[in-house]
Amino acid sequence: MAKNLLAKGFRLAVYNRSQGPVQELAQLKALPCKSPAEVASQSDIIITMLPDAPEVRQVLAGEEGVLEKIRHGQVIIDMSTVSPIFSKEMATLVKSKGGEMLDAPVSGSTMAAEQGTLTIMVGGSKEAFEKALPVLQAMGKHIYYMGESGAGSFTKLCNQVAVSLNLLGVCEMLLVASKAGLDVKKVIEVVSTGAGGSWQLSNLGPRMVVRDFRPGFKVKHLRKDLRIVREVAESLGLSLPGVSLVAELVKALDNMGHGEDGTQALVEVLEMLARHRLG
């Protein structure tokens, strides 16, 4: 995503806890910084992309954090997947310091990030969104303004509900096909052309068959996202039995040592329960 910003002509100041990515971007003419505060001092728009809320809070409000150097009118874009409740809290804090904050999580694979074709869902003020739009367009193909603070984060959770349940459906479908003695690859081809077709089936189904668990999106990250979905659902008084089931299966998969694998590794848990292996 940073490389795409550089390729579109944006000047970039960068910071990361591990220095490898910083040095890689420095070779492409990005300015390496020693702290989030230094990034803020060198930037008009600040972007964070972090694993979870505690890291976002530390980078923004911790020692040598962004808010130590924020200027009036600066826009912070948090592209992490976090609770919308947290997004609203941080937006209020940023506003009290004179800045504006957008929650702008993304959907898409690692390939989409590399190609600049991510889907980006944004919450925050319309004025801040319009100011940040050229930056967002350098990283994504489908950019949606969803409403006030928290709306982007809420939308991402909706996405994760659909993704996780679809993932489970693909795993179970492949097990049925395999157990019935069908050509599993041909079943994927057939179902993909009809009403059962989906991104998960077309992209992750073939990987499950050949046991290619290289990550496009990691198991440990889906586990975190589903935890947030369940917490938010509880706050809204919603019962989501499908999400609860997938969350427990993903938790088991993570505990089996697959946290760094792609989410398509979920098929291994279903294979254990079915006592049947694909292929």
H-helix segments, the chain: 2-7, 19-26, 36-41, 53-61, 84-96, 110-115, 126-137, 151-179, 184-192, 199, 205-210, 219-235, 241-253, 266-274
Q: Catalytic: which of 88, 97, 131, 156?
A: 156
Q: Looking at residue 217, what is its pLDDT?
A: 93
Indicate the SS3 state at residue 101.
Answer: strand
Burial class (CB in 10 A: 0-12, 13-18, 19+), 259: middle
The pLDDT assigned to 227 comes to 97
Tens-digit pLDDT string for the chain (279 aa)? 999 999 999 999 999 999 999 999 999 999 999 999 999 999 999 999 999 999 999 999 999 999 999 999 999 999 999 999 999 999 999 999 999 999 999 999 888 999 999 999 999 999 999 999 999 999 999 999 999 999 999 999 999 999 999 999 999 999 999 999 999 999 999 999 999 999 999 999 999 999 999 999 999 999 999 999 999 999 999 999 999 999 999 999 999 999 999 999 999 999 999 999 997
**Which candidate, 234, 250, 223, 220, places its Cα nearest to that of 85?**
234
What is residue 140's three-state secondary structure?
Answer: strand
**Side chain identity, residue 51:** P
Per-residue pLDDT, 241 = 98
In sequence order, the 6+-apart residues with CB closer than 8 A to the CB of 41 are 69
How distant, in Å, are the alpha carbons of 79, 130, 219, 222 from that of 109? 14, 25, 13, 13
Q: Quick check: helix, strand or coil at residue 186? A: helix
Tokens 């694909």, residue? 278
The pLDDT assigned to 134 comes to 98
Residues in contact with 217: Cβ distance below 8 Å, sequence separation at least 6, in sequence order: 109, 110, 262, 263
Catalytic annotation on 185? Answer: no
Rounded to an integer, what distance in angstroms lies between the CA atom of residue 132 and that of residue 28? Answer: 23
